Structure 1
Amino acid sequence: MQSQNPIIADLVKLANSAAGTMAGMTREARDGARERMREALGGIDFVTREEFDTVKAMAQKAREQADALEARLAALEAKSGQ
């Protein structure tokens, strides 16, 4: 038969309480950190890859059109003798 020592029983209860408290504090700290990150990143506007690729293609097309217009203008200027 096993005897029940009240000091050991109290130490076990104290250890269990401390473990529960630490687990709760860890969860609370993690949740708080996540919330702070959400708030910090909330003001930043991110774009999707699709939006980025679309704007990139538009910029490339505009660059090509500008180059074509520049070449056309140079040809017209050369033709007019300027």
Structure 2
Amino acid sequence: MTQSPNRIFDELARFATDAAGAAQGVRREVESVVRSQFERLIKDMDVATREEVEVLREMVIAAREDNERLEARLKELEAKLSPSASTSSAAP
């Protein structure tokens, strides 16, 4: 071996760079496989998407507001009927 020390260091640096590049490639491949497996698992579990949950949330809020409005209307009507119901029963 008559290589100079600089050439050996250059080869080691090239080898380390190639190894790092290969490791990054493997990492990306593993991430891709894991992501696809998670997506398939979630799809098989029939989990609601964020958009579906947001739509349902808006529907619940609207239903609650409608319920509160109807409850207030009912109380108002009951209040109107209460005095007249007592006078009509007292009249006969």
Shorter chain as denominator, the TM-score bin is 0.5 to 0.7
Confirm whether residue 59 of structure 1 aligns to residue 64 of structure 2.
yes
State the alpha-carbon separation in 2 of the partners of residues 75 and 40 from structure 1. 58
Count matched residues.
79
Question: So what's the TM-score if we normalise by structure 2?
Answer: 0.50
- Structure number with greater Rg is 2
* 1:40-71 Cα shifts (integer Å, max 9, x gaps): 65413433697344552343123201210122
Once the two structures are aligned, what percentage of the paired residues are identical?
Answer: 20
**Structure 1 spans left out of the alignment, 5+ residues:** none
**Structure 2 spans left out of the alignment, 5+ residues:** none
State the alpha-carbon separation in 2 of the partners of residues 41 and 22 from structure 1. 28
User: Which residue identity does 2:51 align to in structure 1?
Assistant: V
Structure 1 residue 18, shift from structure 2 partner: 0.9
Structure 1 runs of 4+ aligned residues shifted over 6 Å read: none
RMSD: 3.8
Question: So what's the TM-score if we normalise by structure 1?
Answer: 0.54
Confirm whether residue 78 of structure 1 aligns to residue 83 of structure 2.
yes
